[in-house]
Amino acid sequence: MANKYLWLLDNGHGGVIDGLYQTPGKRSPLWSDGSILYEGEFNRAIINRLVEMLTIDHINYVNITPEYEDISLNERVRRANTYYQQSDEQLNCVFLSVHSNAGGGKGYEIYTSKGETLSDKAATIFFDKFKGEFPEANMRVDTLDNDPDKEADFYVLKNTKMPAVLTENFFMDNEHECKTYLMTHEGRDRIAKAHYNAIKAIEEFGL
Ligand SMILES: [Zn+2]
Protein backbone atom coordinates (compact mmCIF):
# COMPACT_ATOMS: atom_id res chain seq x y z
CA MET A 1 0.00 0.00 0.00
CA ALA A 2 1.31 3.41 -0.90
CA ASN A 3 1.90 5.70 2.05
CA LYS A 4 0.25 8.93 1.15
CA TYR A 5 -0.39 10.59 4.45
CA LEU A 6 1.43 11.55 7.59
CA TRP A 7 -1.02 11.21 10.46
CA LEU A 8 -0.43 13.78 13.17
CA LEU A 9 -1.88 12.09 16.24
CA ASP A 10 -2.88 14.31 19.15
CA ASN A 11 -3.78 13.03 22.62
CA GLY A 12 -6.23 15.54 24.04
CA HIS A 13 -5.24 16.99 27.46
CA GLY A 14 -2.65 15.64 29.90
CA GLY A 15 -1.99 12.13 31.13
CA VAL A 16 -1.40 10.62 34.56
CA ILE A 17 2.04 11.00 36.17
CA ASP A 18 2.72 9.08 39.39
CA GLY A 19 -1.01 8.66 39.88
CA LEU A 20 -1.69 12.36 39.44
CA TYR A 21 -3.91 13.44 36.55
CA GLN A 22 -2.33 16.47 34.92
CA THR A 23 -5.46 18.31 33.75
CA PRO A 24 -8.11 19.97 35.92
CA GLY A 25 -11.65 18.88 35.04
CA LYS A 26 -11.78 16.72 31.93
CA ARG A 27 -12.88 13.63 33.83
CA SER A 28 -15.98 11.57 34.48
CA PRO A 29 -17.97 11.94 37.69
CA LEU A 30 -16.78 9.71 40.53
CA TRP A 31 -19.07 6.72 39.98
CA SER A 32 -20.77 4.98 42.89
CA ASP A 33 -18.40 1.99 42.56
CA GLY A 34 -15.46 4.33 43.18
CA SER A 35 -14.24 4.34 39.57
CA ILE A 36 -13.43 7.48 37.58
CA LEU A 37 -12.24 8.12 34.04
CA TYR A 38 -9.61 10.73 33.23
CA GLU A 39 -10.15 11.89 29.68
CA GLY A 40 -6.45 12.38 28.95
CA GLU A 41 -5.70 8.80 29.98
CA PHE A 42 -8.46 7.52 27.70
CA ASN A 43 -7.27 9.69 24.80
CA ARG A 44 -3.78 8.24 25.19
CA ALA A 45 -5.13 4.69 25.30
CA ILE A 46 -6.76 5.23 21.90
CA ILE A 47 -3.75 6.94 20.35
CA ASN A 48 -1.44 4.22 21.70
CA ARG A 49 -3.60 1.54 20.08
CA LEU A 50 -3.50 3.48 16.80
CA VAL A 51 0.28 3.81 17.03
CA GLU A 52 0.58 0.04 17.25
CA MET A 53 -1.85 -0.65 14.39
CA LEU A 54 -0.35 1.98 12.07
CA THR A 55 3.18 0.76 12.78
CA ILE A 56 2.24 -2.79 11.79
CA ASP A 57 0.68 -1.48 8.56
CA HIS A 58 3.61 0.84 7.73
CA ILE A 59 1.34 3.88 7.77
CA ASN A 60 3.20 7.10 8.56
CA TYR A 61 2.33 8.83 11.79
CA VAL A 62 3.76 11.04 14.49
CA ASN A 63 2.44 11.17 18.02
CA ILE A 64 2.76 14.94 18.36
CA THR A 65 2.05 14.88 22.11
CA PRO A 66 3.92 11.88 23.54
CA GLU A 67 4.35 13.58 26.91
CA TYR A 68 2.12 12.93 29.90
CA GLU A 69 2.21 16.61 30.81
CA ASP A 70 -0.65 18.66 29.40
CA ILE A 71 0.83 20.35 26.35
CA SER A 72 -0.65 23.75 25.52
CA LEU A 73 -2.98 24.00 22.55
CA ASN A 74 -0.65 26.56 21.03
CA GLU A 75 2.28 24.14 21.21
CA ARG A 76 0.19 21.31 19.75
CA VAL A 77 -0.65 23.53 16.78
CA ARG A 78 2.96 24.66 16.42
CA ARG A 79 4.18 21.06 16.27
CA ALA A 80 1.52 20.04 13.74
CA ASN A 81 2.21 23.02 11.49
CA THR A 82 5.95 22.33 11.62
CA TYR A 83 5.33 18.86 10.19
CA TYR A 84 2.97 20.38 7.66
CA GLN A 85 5.63 22.78 6.44
CA GLN A 86 7.98 19.82 5.88
CA SER A 87 5.40 17.74 4.00
CA ASP A 88 5.07 17.57 0.22
CA GLU A 89 2.63 16.17 -2.33
CA GLN A 90 3.97 12.66 -1.67
CA LEU A 91 3.21 12.89 2.01
CA ASN A 92 0.25 15.01 3.07
CA CYS A 93 -0.45 15.68 6.72
CA VAL A 94 -3.77 14.94 8.40
CA PHE A 95 -4.31 16.05 12.00
CA LEU A 96 -6.31 13.74 14.26
CA SER A 97 -7.16 14.74 17.82
CA VAL A 98 -8.86 12.21 20.10
CA HIS A 99 -11.21 13.26 22.93
CA SER A 100 -14.19 12.17 24.95
CA ASN A 101 -17.23 14.34 25.40
CA ALA A 102 -19.00 15.76 28.46
CA GLY A 103 -21.86 18.06 29.24
CA GLY A 104 -24.84 15.72 29.01
CA GLY A 105 -25.59 13.68 25.94
CA LYS A 106 -24.73 10.42 24.31
CA GLY A 107 -22.98 9.14 21.24
CA TYR A 108 -20.02 10.31 19.23
CA GLU A 109 -19.20 13.38 17.22
CA ILE A 110 -16.60 14.20 14.59
CA TYR A 111 -15.54 17.84 14.32
CA THR A 112 -13.67 19.68 11.63
CA SER A 113 -12.52 23.21 11.10
CA LYS A 114 -14.98 25.37 9.19
CA GLY A 115 -14.75 25.61 5.44
CA GLU A 116 -12.01 23.05 4.93
CA THR A 117 -13.23 20.68 2.24
CA LEU A 118 -10.64 17.98 2.82
CA SER A 119 -11.40 17.98 6.55
CA ASP A 120 -15.07 17.48 5.73
CA LYS A 121 -14.23 14.58 3.44
CA ALA A 122 -12.10 13.02 6.15
CA ALA A 123 -14.84 13.54 8.75
CA THR A 124 -17.41 11.86 6.50
CA ILE A 125 -15.16 8.79 6.28
CA PHE A 126 -14.69 8.78 10.06
CA PHE A 127 -18.47 9.02 10.54
CA ASP A 128 -18.97 6.14 8.15
CA LYS A 129 -16.49 3.88 9.94
CA PHE A 130 -17.84 4.84 13.38
CA LYS A 131 -21.32 3.96 12.19
CA GLY A 132 -20.03 0.61 10.99
CA GLU A 133 -18.34 -0.15 14.32
CA PHE A 134 -21.09 1.28 16.53
CA PRO A 135 -24.44 0.67 14.81
CA GLU A 136 -26.06 0.70 18.25
CA ALA A 137 -24.73 4.12 19.24
CA ASN A 138 -25.95 7.62 18.69
CA MET A 139 -24.27 9.58 15.91
CA ARG A 140 -24.50 13.27 16.71
CA VAL A 141 -24.38 15.61 13.77
CA ASP A 142 -24.83 19.36 13.56
CA THR A 143 -24.49 19.75 17.30
CA LEU A 144 -22.26 22.81 17.29
CA ASP A 145 -23.07 24.78 20.39
CA ASN A 146 -21.41 27.27 22.66
CA ASP A 147 -19.83 24.79 25.05
CA PRO A 148 -16.63 26.53 26.16
CA ASP A 149 -14.77 23.25 26.66
CA LYS A 150 -15.36 22.38 23.08
CA GLU A 151 -14.24 25.78 21.95
CA ALA A 152 -10.92 25.07 23.64
CA ASP A 153 -10.63 21.75 21.87
CA PHE A 154 -11.51 23.42 18.57
CA TYR A 155 -8.52 25.72 18.85
CA VAL A 156 -6.42 22.95 17.32
CA LEU A 157 -8.86 22.64 14.42
CA LYS A 158 -8.96 26.35 13.72
CA ASN A 159 -5.23 26.87 13.80
CA THR A 160 -3.74 23.79 12.17
CA LYS A 161 -3.00 24.29 8.48
CA MET A 162 -3.71 20.75 7.26
CA PRO A 163 -6.98 18.80 7.08
CA ALA A 164 -7.95 18.26 10.70
CA VAL A 165 -10.46 16.06 12.48
CA LEU A 166 -11.34 15.91 16.17
CA THR A 167 -13.27 12.93 17.49
CA GLU A 168 -15.46 13.18 20.59
CA ASN A 169 -15.78 9.56 21.63
CA PHE A 170 -18.95 9.13 23.65
CA PHE A 171 -19.80 11.00 26.83
CA MET A 172 -17.68 10.37 29.88
CA ASP A 173 -20.43 11.84 32.09
CA ASN A 174 -22.93 9.30 30.73
CA GLU A 175 -22.52 6.33 33.07
CA HIS A 176 -23.61 3.74 30.51
CA GLU A 177 -21.28 5.03 27.81
CA CYS A 178 -18.41 5.63 30.20
CA LYS A 179 -18.54 2.12 31.60
CA THR A 180 -19.39 0.37 28.32
CA TYR A 181 -17.08 2.10 25.87
CA LEU A 182 -14.54 4.23 27.69
CA MET A 183 -13.49 2.17 30.70
CA THR A 184 -13.32 -1.32 29.12
CA HIS A 185 -10.67 -2.99 26.98
CA GLU A 186 -13.34 -4.04 24.51
CA GLY A 187 -14.82 -0.56 24.18
CA ARG A 188 -11.41 1.03 23.73
CA ASP A 189 -10.45 -1.58 21.13
CA ARG A 190 -13.63 -0.82 19.20
CA ILE A 191 -13.08 2.94 19.34
CA ALA A 192 -9.49 2.51 18.13
CA LYS A 193 -10.73 0.17 15.39
CA ALA A 194 -13.22 2.75 14.12
CA HIS A 195 -10.42 5.34 13.85
CA TYR A 196 -8.13 2.76 12.25
CA ASN A 197 -10.75 1.79 9.64
CA ALA A 198 -11.15 5.45 8.70
CA ILE A 199 -7.39 5.93 8.40
CA LYS A 200 -7.10 2.78 6.27
CA ALA A 201 -9.88 3.97 3.96
CA ILE A 202 -8.24 7.37 3.54
CA GLU A 203 -4.88 5.73 2.88
CA GLU A 204 -6.49 3.53 0.26
CA PHE A 205 -8.80 5.96 -1.51
CA GLY A 206 -7.30 9.31 -0.60
CA LEU A 207 -9.02 12.52 0.37
ZN1 LIG B 1 -11.26 16.84 25.42
Tens-digit pLDDT profile for the chain (207 aa)?
A: 455 899 999 999 999 999 999 999 999 999 999 999 999 999 999 999 999 999 999 999 999 999 999 999 999 999 999 999 998 877 899 999 999 999 999 999 988 877 767 888 999 999 999 999 999 987 776 545 545 455 556 899 999 999 999 999 999 999 999 999 999 999 999 999 999 999 999 999 998
CA of 84 to the centre of ligand 1 (A): 23
Entry pTM? 0.93
CATH classification of the domain holding 117: 3.40.630.40
Predicted pLDDT of residue 141: 65
Are residues 43 and 99 in contact, defined by beta-carbon separation less than 8 angstroms? yes
**Domain range for residue 135?**
5-205
Residues with CB under 5 A from ligand 1 (ion): 12, 99
Looking at residue 1, its pLDDT comes to: 45
Q: How many domains does the chain have?
A: 1
- For residue 53, report the distance from its CA to the centre of ligand 1, in Å: 23
Separation CA 157–CA 131 (nearest Å): 23
How far away, in angstroms, is 43 Cα from ligand 1 center?
A: 8
| Cα(1) to centroid(ligand 1), Å | 33
Give me the pLDDT at residue 15, please. Answer: 98
Q: What is residue 152's predicted lDDT score, i.e. its pLDDT? A: 58
Residue count of the chain: 207
Rounded distance from Cα 91 to ligand 1 centre (Å):
28
Alpha-carbon gap, residue 93 to 132, rounded angstroms:
25
Ligand 1 midpoint to CA 46 (Å): 13
